[in-house]
Amino acid sequence: MSFSVIGKPLPKVDAVSRVTGQAIYADDMLPPRTLHCRILRSPHPHARILSIDTSAARRIPGVVAVITGADLPIKFGILPVTQDERALEHEKVRYVGDPIAAVAATDEEIAAAACDAIAVEYEVLDPVMSIDAALASPKDERIQDYGGPNNIHKLVALEFGDVDAGFARADHVREDVFFFQGNTHLPMEQHSAVATYVDGKVTLWSSTQVVHYVHRALAKVLELPMNRIRVIGAAHGGGFGGKTDPFAHEIVVAKLAMMTGRPVKCTLTREEVFYAHRGRHPVLMWVRTGVTKEGRITAMHFKTALDGGAYGSYGVASTFYTGALQTVTYDIPAYRFEGCRVFTNKPPCGPKRGHGTPQPRFAIELHLEKIAHDLALDPVDMKRSNFVKPMTRTVNWLRVTSCGLEECTARVMDASGFRARNRRPGHGMGFAISSYLSGAGTAIYWNDMPHSEVQIKVDRGGVTAYCGAMDIGQGSDSVLAAVVAEELGLQPKDIRLVTADTDSTPIDLGSYSSRVTFMAGNAALEAARKMRALLVEAVEAGGRRFEEVTFEEACVLAEARFGTLTSAGSYTPPKIAGPYKGSGVGPSPAYSYSACVVDLDADPRTGLLHINKVWIAHDVGRAINPLLVEGQVEGSVYMGLGEALMEEQTFRKGLHKWPSMLEYKSPTFLDMPDVETFIVETNDPEGPYGAKEAGQGPLLPVIPAVSAAVFDALGVWIDEVPVTPEKIVEALRRRGKGEPARYGPPGFPDIPYPPCIKVAPPPREVDLAAPAAI
Amino acid sequence: MKNEVERPVDRHVVALHVNGERTELLLPVHKTLLEVLREDMQLTGTKHGCELGECGTCTVLVDGRPELSCLLLPIQIEGRAITTVEGLASGSELHPLQQAFAELGAAQCGYCTPGILLASKSLLDANQRPSRDEIREALAGNLCRCTGYMKILDAVQLAAGRMTNSLPHRGEG
Amino acid sequence: MLRLPRFKYLRPKTAREAARMASDLGPHAMFVAGGTDLLPKLKRRQFEVDALIGLDFLSRAIHRGQDETVVDAGVTLAAASADAGLRAGYRGYAEAAGLVSSPPLRNAGTIGGNLCVDTRCNYYDMTYEWRKAAGFCIKKDGDICLVAPSSPRCWAVSSSDTAPMAIALGALVTLAGPKDERELPVAALYRDDGIDYLAKQPAEVVTSLRLPAADGTRTAYVKLRRRGSIDFPIAGAAVAMRLDGSTVTSCRIVLSAVASHPLEAAEASEFMIGKQVDEESVRAAAEIAAKPAKPLDNADLSHFWRKRMVRVVVEQALQRAIDQ
């Protein structure tokens, strides 16, 4: 197929606004008479609030309003099943950083001083700071009043196929334990929101990935109808999943605007961003796999324990995600998954790039490497022999359509010279593959409505496309413009866009789970084709062909013929989930695939690693804009390396150990190796022009590839992320003493998983588009 | 902390030279250049990521050299020439660095971009054809979470090539 | 945004005037030069000030004499690291200056400021709210050292990259007080205490650094940090040595970031004198140098690992000096 826009490496449609500093981010806004808001946060990881005295704060000149939890008692939460958050807590605080009160003042300095003047009396409770502590009986009281036993939040147990029989027929069975430490998104832009209240209507500009979910939360907590609230996505300075929850500061500024009648702005300090968190769950994982002597998987049993932090956030989904996608890369004929999320007195964890799947991907890639070593098989070939095939269903009912695993693997194997390398002491290469969703198949609140809607208007030759999708820097605006332009025979810069404004744009669920290119792209495709059909009809009615006239002429003819020219398109993912409770997490209309080789040098004396190069091949289905796809791949590799080597959200004595950009380490220019990217195109049958996702998948294989490369270099397994020099040195020390040459968690705790829900695997002839019988 | 706002504010008239324009402002002496640019001069192109000098986002040029505006007091840099991202373009014509960044996808969310553009400009003013390693060194104090740095390096090299006229100014090249 | 507290800004025109102001105003007045160490700490409320005394008058000149070189305190770290004379004669010092933090910070931070940089600890270099939640520590507003609760003293870590190199070079620093000036070896500028880490009077201003005649002294500074930029040292070694053929005639090894003051590895330095420069002597010296280093759990990465790394950085610094 030959396209005029699709597949071209074009600059983003908003690139100039970014390089001139003209893009308006939320903190850049300063409407007249704006009040500045600061939030008072809990200094205790776990405490009951006995009293809050705001009188001293109110007396400070310049303070206009002070609110506490009593002003915002209604609970909210991103998932319908865990509406456990309040914008301001007035009964109990559950982590250092939990919001308690908020001040609106004429300037930020005064608001901060006033927060310090608010006197809160606490009854300090024993904090729960680890998975083990959460599983045990709490000394004082549980963190939340739902879930259980003890501080368990959620338990999941699913079994697909006959796992015991699978293990029985295995020639070799191995079990391993892994740990993936928590980390955070660290967007360069701190969260920020500005609210106004005019004529009974709240308008909120926010740095958010999800204007629609924020809209719903505001309506609920402020007790206003949705049509009296407008949420606009300001220019966005990075999210990566950290801005996909509705946040306290967004609700608070809206409330303060309602109370004071003035615009109110709140921008989080960097430390507060660490407390807002919603980042990668620390996950402890146990996996047991049976294989034939040729290395074919016969059965897998996977157990996870997630340290969820103090609130639910996306955690129920995250829990399911730690078990869902194992089957989407490897053909696992029988699979048992047991998952557990616990509450701890830490900032709540949620979705970070990959959402619950990088952790098990780390585990499974290394686990299979170890099995290959046990059997003296080549790990790459062993993995390949288990690769899932395109157009199949997995044992847990996930529908695999296009799958470029083979090609991705071949590309990185060739380019890296993985097989043929000259070894020098301390040099290692590691290989890993992975997969990710192109959008979650089920919405966060279940309904039968589309996940993305686009409207197009054309008048006097000008085209405008409207869509709720939020450009978070990944270029979703550019994708929309490219799709509409391609269909109408224009260039992207000819397409005006109105996006992420709940008043004027039709729904898009938000920029998370890598859904936007696929879903908004498909919606835009439908809308654009319908508009084109109108234009074609009008032109042909006059006896000419569409290709013979200019776009403006076609528009004139169509507008004269039909009146107002509008078209609409939408996308609803097919209902492909399996017939079992919990099947909502995992299905996607398409999966992307990635393969990665990491080349490094490891110093056995110091444990220091030098990453020389990363090769990454990513099956994106089709690159609507290869420049943007490369950018996502390179950025994902960067973030994967950061997590693999240095990022960790750790706690000491109940507090975040280092809530600063200095101490929370993310790679600088000098820490980033060269990356060679290969875009693989498998032309997915359902994606717009065959496109799938690119923003998350390429992160996943990088992390296990680093650890595999360390093993290749030094002969020690680091079964824990991040892979730091001290761990390597310790693993070498252990090997020197004749102990297992490994650093990682010693074991997996006893968790009271419920009996498994047993689910029959899909029959061979299941229709790929069959509705789920849930 | 709570009693801080009872203390008097020390204000001075400070003459700031920003992007070639001289402005006199009556400023609280404890406001950083970052705050003054954004809040008193409406030059919101300069962004902030941490306000503690740890991320490079707030980089501006002072007498052509990159410095962290979150750690500068206007009173200390009176008379020095300050350049912000708003001062890069000539009228509506983009600086070659801006043009290259836009063309090559070196700005994704764009939040780190103003600081990186200015640090890059300073590098190219001193070193017309920097190697990739020299660019990395010059930008080592600027963090980016979106791009993985690769396209930024490409864009700086592309701009350098164009500015030394060894490459065509824009378009194919 | 994190913002500074309110303060008055005073603009003395000379060091003498600045010192007098400081002397008159007492502990709630602090000097500010580049501000790259002070301003973040003020934003975190690690100091309470009524006034800042600007040191903008400090000269930014490097005076190359017949033998020695005098670097005025206002010279930026960037300028020091780029100076041809310093790179030629005192390479390790220029390197150390060039390794501090990151490029934009080095364009403002001064060499005088880096000599005086506050000791650091990850219980202390945190915001007011964080420290309130953790419990204040003995260095600021509290009664105990949070990293070593049973110890009566503060264990915050010396974090200057240039000070160890200046000490190894035998450099001298000039201090201007309210009444007079004095000069002392840089080594005498520091105390082994996390709180009272500077031996100068609070009102004294560092005005210049005098590097003795280069005389073929080989110098090297190796800095260990997690990332390639921005980070403070978590271990470091500065070496200044002279060789006669392949025999060491003088050697000074000073460690950064392993104690509350730049730690002179006197025994190791002594050991090297008279030895042949070979792998064996370098390893042995490094082993000896690492012994007194006692990093605690108040910086990045485990202190056990950092302790191990001390010998590695000493070896590397010795080798680099030898290879010059």
Q: Any CB–CB contact under 8 A between C231 and chain A?
A: yes
- Identity (one letter) of the amino acid at C211? L
Question: How far is residue A112 from each of residues A24, A330, C48, C127, C194, measured CA to CA in Å?
Answer: 25, 53, 16, 13, 30
Counting every residue written for chain A, the total comes to: 774
Contacts of B104 in chain A (CB under 8 A): 11, 627
Model pLDDT for residues A40-73, shown as the tens digit of each residue: 999 999 999 999 999 999 999 999 999 999 999 9
pLDDT digits (tens, 9 = 90+) for A357-386: 999 999 999 999 999 999 999 999 999 999
Tokens representing residue C244 in the block: 């006669």
CB contacts of C107 in chain B (<8 Å) are 62, 65-67
3-state secondary structure of A722: coil
Closest Cα in chain B, distance from residue A113 (Å): 4
B44 interaction partners in chain A (CB closer than 8 Å): 21, 24-25, 27-28
* Chains touching C (3+ CB pairs < 8 Å): A, B
User: For C301, which residue in chain A has the nearest alpha carbon?
Assistant: A726
Chain B: residue nearest C38 by CA? B71
Which chain A residue's Cα is nearest to C313?
Answer: A606
Give the residue carrying structure tokens 């009872």.
Answer: B6
Size of interface A-C (CB pairs under 8 A): 66
Facing A271 at nearest CB: one of C122, C130, C302: C130
CA angle B123, B126, B128 (to 5 degrees): 80
The mean pLDDT value for A95-100 works out to 98
Closest chain B CA to residue C36 = B71
pLDDT-derived band at A543, boundaries 50, 70, 90: very high
Contacts of B135 in chain A (CB under 8 A): 669
Q: What is chain C's percent helix, strand, coil content, to nearest 5? A: 35, 25, 45
- C213, C206, C211, C163: which is closest to C182 by C-alpha? C206
pLDDT in tens, A582-600: 999 999 999 999 999 999 9
The burial class, CB within 10 Å (0-12 / 13-18 / 19+), for A738 is exposed
With contact defined as 3+ CB pairs under 8 Å, the chains touching B are A, C
**Distance between CA atoms of A261 and C167, rounded to whole angstroms?**
62
pLDDT digits (tens, 9 = 90+) for B95-121: 999 999 999 999 999 999 999 999 999
Lowest mean pLDDT among A131-135, A193-197, C212-216: C212-216
Question: Cβ separation of B30 and C228 shorter than 8 Å?
Answer: no
Chain A nearest-CA distance from B99, in A, is 8
Calculate the average pLDDT of chain A.
96
Within 70-129 of C, beta carbons closer than 8 Å to B belong to 78, 101-105, 107-108, 128
| C149 in reach of chain A (CB within 8 A) | no
Q: Residue C289 and residue C305: Cα distance in Å, rounded?
A: 16
- Give the per-residue pLDDT at A443: 87
For an interface test with C, which of B10, B62, B63 has the most C Cβ atoms less than 10 Å from its Cβ? B10
The beta-carbon neighbor of C107 closest among B51, B66, B76 is B66
In chain A, residues 184-223 whose CB comes closer than 8 Å to chain B: 185-190
Classify the C-alpha dihedral A733-A734-A740-A743 as positive or negative: negative
A665 inside 8 A of chain B by CB: no
Q: Got the DSSP string for A106-169?
A: SSHHHHHHHHHH-EEEEEE-----SHHHHHSPPSS--SSSSS-STTEEEEEEEEES-HHHHHHT
Return the structure tokens found at C195: 């709180």
Of all residues in chain A, the one with the smallest CA distance to C305 is A726
Distance of alpha carbon B151 from alpha carbon B135, whole angstroms: 12
Q: How far apart are CA C269 and CA C272, in angstroms?
A: 5
Token duo for residue C19: 């010192």
Distance of CA A543 to the CA centre of its chain: 51
Residues B30, C40: C-beta atoms closer than 8 Å? no
Helix or strand or coil: residue A566? strand
Residues C238, C219: contact at Cβ < 8 Å? yes
CB C71 within 8 Å of CB C86: yes
DSSP class of A11: P
Q: How far is B67 from chain C (nearest CA, A)?
A: 4
Q: Is C237 left (phi over 0), alpha (psi -120 to 50) or beta?
A: beta
Q: Is the pLDDT of residue A450 over 50?
A: yes
pLDDT digits (tens, 9 = 90+) for A326-337: 999 999 999 999
Burial of C201 (0-12, 13-18, 19+ CB in 10 A): middle
Chain C: residue whose CA lies nearest to B138: C103
Distance of alpha carbon A521 from alpha carbon A518, whole angstroms: 5
Residue stretches of chain C with pLDDT short of 70: none
Order of strands across the sheet with A99-105? A63-68, A99-105, A35-41, A264-267, A192-198, A201-206, A229-233
How far apart are the CA of A252 and the nearest CA of chain C, in angstroms?
A: 17
Please judge whether C5 and B30 are an interchain contact, meaning their C-beta atoms are less than 8 angstroms apart. yes
Q: Regarding beta strands C172-176 and C205-211, do their DSSP bridges make them parallel or antiparallel, or are they unpaired?
A: antiparallel
Shortest CB distance from A116 goes to which of B2, B38, B94? B2
Tokens read off for A117: 């003047």
Are the CB atoms for C112 and C18 separated by under 8 Å? no
B90 exposure class (CB count in 10 Å sphere: 0-12, 13-18, 19+): exposed
Beta strands A609-619 and A674-680 are: parallel
Report d(CA A621, CA A700) in Å as an integer: 18
Residue C228 in contact with partner chain B when CB distance is under 8 A? yes
> CA-nearest residue of chain B to A674?
B150
Nearest to A726 among C128, C133, C305 (CB): C305
- CB pair distance less than 8 Å for B53 and C45: no
How does strand A92-93 pair with strand C247-256? unpaired
Chain C residues whose CB is inside 8 A of the B144 CB are none
Contacts of A671 in chain C (CB under 8 A): 227-228
| Complex confidence, ipTM | 0.96
Q: In A, which residues are within 8 Å of B102 by CB distance?
A: 11-12, 15-16, 18-19
Distance of alpha carbon C272 from alpha carbon C282, whole angstroms? 8
Q: Report C:203-222 residues touching A (Cβ under 8 A).
A: none
pLDDT, averaged across chain B: 95
* Alpha-carbon gap, residue A292 to A298, rounded angstroms: 7
Q: Confirm if C234 and C257 have CB atoms less than 8 A apart.
A: yes
Tokens, residue A215: 């809209």
Task: Assess contact for C252 and C239: CB atoms under 8 A.
Answer: yes
Nearest to B29 among C9, C101, C108 (CB): C9
> 3-class DSSP state for residue B114?
helix
So what's the pLDDT on residue C294?
86
Q: Which helix (H) or strand (E) holds C315?
A: helix C303-322
Q: For residue A766, what pLDDT is reported?
A: 72
B108 with A631: Cβ contact below 8 A: yes
Q: What is the pLDDT of residues B37-71, one digit of tens each?
A: 999 999 999 999 999 999 999 999 999 999 999 99
Residue B168 has pLDDT above 60, yes or no: no
**What is the per-residue pLDDT for B2?**
80
Reference A74, options A88, A53, A55; nearest CA is A88
The pLDDT value given to residue A767: 59
Instruction: Let me know how many helices (H) and strands (E) chain B has, helices first.
Output: 5, 5
Contact yes or no for C129 and A271 at CB 8 A: yes
- Asked if residue A755 has a cis previous peptide bond (ω within 30° of 0), the answer is no
A122 contacts in C (CB within 8 Å)? none
**SS3 of C43, please?**
helix
B-chain residue closest to A62, CA distance: B5
| Structure confidence at residue A446 (pLDDT) | 86
Dig out the tokens for C288 from the structure.
């000896």
Determine contact: B68 vs chain C, CB below 8 A: yes
Sign (positive/negative) of CA torsion A478, A482, A484, A490?
A: positive
A381 touches chain B (CB under 8 A): no
- For A737, other C-beta atoms within 10 Å of its C-beta total 8
What mean pLDDT is predicted for residues A720-730? 97
CB–CB of C9 and B51 under 8 A?
Answer: no
pLDDT the model gives residue B173: 38
Residue from C129, C224, C229, C313 whose CB has the most chain A CBs within 10 Å, to mutate: C129
For residue A773, pLDDT over 90 is answered with no
Q: A-B interface: how many C-beta pairs under 8 angstroms?
A: 189
pLDDT value for B169: 53
B73 near C CB under 8 A: yes
pLDDT given for residue B97 in this prediction: 98
The subunits that touch chain A, with at least 3 C-beta pairs less than 8 Å apart, are B, C
Give me the residue from B9, B35, B68 closest to C104, CB to CB. B68
Record: contact A22-B47, CB cut-off 8 A: no
Q: How much is the CA Rg of chain C, to the nearest whole Å?
A: 19
> Distance between CA C72 and CA C80 in Å, rounded?
10
CA distance B77 to chain A (A): 23
CB < 8 Å to B88, chain A = 20
Which two three-digit tokens encode residue A149?
Answer: 């036993």
Q: Which residue of chain A is at minimal alpha-carbon distance from B137?
A: A670
